Structure formats: structure tokens, C-alpha cells
Amino acid sequence: MFDDTVYQFSAPLLNAPPTTPGSTAPSISLDEFRGRVLLIVNTASKCGFTPQYTGLEMLYRAYKGRGFQVLGFPCNQFGAQEAGTEEEIGAFCQKNYGVTFPMFAKIEVNGPGAHPLFRFLTEKKPGILGVFGAGNIRWNFTKFLINRQGAVISRHSPSTDPKSLAPAIESLLDNR
């Protein structure tokens, strides 16, 4: 049976060591986050929206004890604003914003190389311009809110301040 949730996807974590020399980093299944409210965000280190890491981290710290998780996916498809190595990305996020939520390896969110998770997210919530833009992600820091059952509940633009999502997150956390 087809799984119509985000739990069917996996991706390698940022800076995850390969299991054997010369191999790629192992992927982590999003099924490991089953039962939590998720905020999935495509990120970049050199973007005008990069300061949103602060708000994302604040949300994560405020609600993680209640079953909330932010998942960051660096992407270099918009203005080459995430050109660094995985080590550089991880160090930047930690040093400048104290990021403690999981960051995944750099991915693409649009086009033929788009990660299957982001193809799924944009299919479920194509956005306001979805009819014209085929649901593509338009820029860094597009946010998808996922309920405890793994369903995509809403899509939020890069300009949406993370703290403005607190009421929606609280509502999803309260609904088991």
C-alpha cells in the first residue's frame, strides 16, 4: 500500500560519517520522527532569510519537549546561497545561530534532481502559484508544517516569520 506521509522518505544527515571508507553517508528515515509535529524547511547560509535560523531554533527549543521537530534541508538552487561544504554549513549554523535541530545533507528541491521528499511536499501543497509554477519551491526558507500522522498540513513562504507559526504548531501538538 502506498504511504501518503513524509515517513516514506529518508535523507542523509549533515556531517553523518560514512559507514565504510569511500561510501556515502547513511540515510536516516523520516519514520524516526513518527508521531511528532514537523516543520520541514529548505535552508541556505547566505540568504536574506538566513536569520530565520534564530526563529526556527527558538520554536524547536520551545516545543521539542511536546513532540515538535524542525528539519533543515540546505539547498544551493537559489542564487548559489548555499555553496559551502557540509562541514562549512554545519559549522556556520552552529556558530552563528546555535542550531541544534537536525540538518540534512545538501539537496535540490526543484527540477529533475529534486529530492523525493520535496517533490512530495510540493505535490501535496503546491503553494499559491502552484497552478502556474507547478508547485516549485520559489526560494530558500519555504516551510512545510506536518502533523503527527505525517500529513502535510500547510506550506509557508520564505517571508513567513517562524514565530508566527507558533499557534498552528501548538494546535497540532494539542491534537493527538
Q: Which positions ≥6 away from 176 have C-beta within 8 Å?
A: 148
Confidence (pLDDT) at 168: 97
DSSP secondary-structure letter at 111?
Answer: S
Q: Which of 47, 70, 93, 165 is catalytic?
A: 47
The number of angstroms, rounded, from the C-alpha of 72 to the middle of its chain's C-alpha atoms is 4
Would you say 45 and 75 are in contact if contact means Cβ atoms under 8 Å apart? no
Confidence (pLDDT) at 16: 62
Residue 74's DSSP bridge partners are 43
- Rounded mean pLDDT, 16-21: 58
pLDDT of 131 > 60? The answer is: no
Phi, psi of 91 (to 5 degrees): -65, -40
62 three-class SS? helix
Angular region, 62: left φ>0, alpha ψ -120 to 50, beta rest: alpha
Supply the pTM of this predicted model. 0.91
Confidence (pLDDT) at 65: 97
Confidence (pLDDT) at 126: 84
Confidence (pLDDT) at 86: 85
pLDDT band at 19 (very low <50, low <70, confident <90, very high): low
47 an active-site residue?
yes
Residue with grid cell 528539519, as numbered in its chain = 71
- Rounded mean pLDDT, 135-152: 94
pLDDT band at 132 (very low <50, low <70, confident <90, very high): very low
Mean pLDDT for all residues in the chain: 89
Confidence (pLDDT) at 1: 42
Residue 39's identity, in one-letter code, is L
**CATH top-level class for 39-174?**
alpha beta
Q: Which three cell numbers stand for residue 107?
A: 539537496
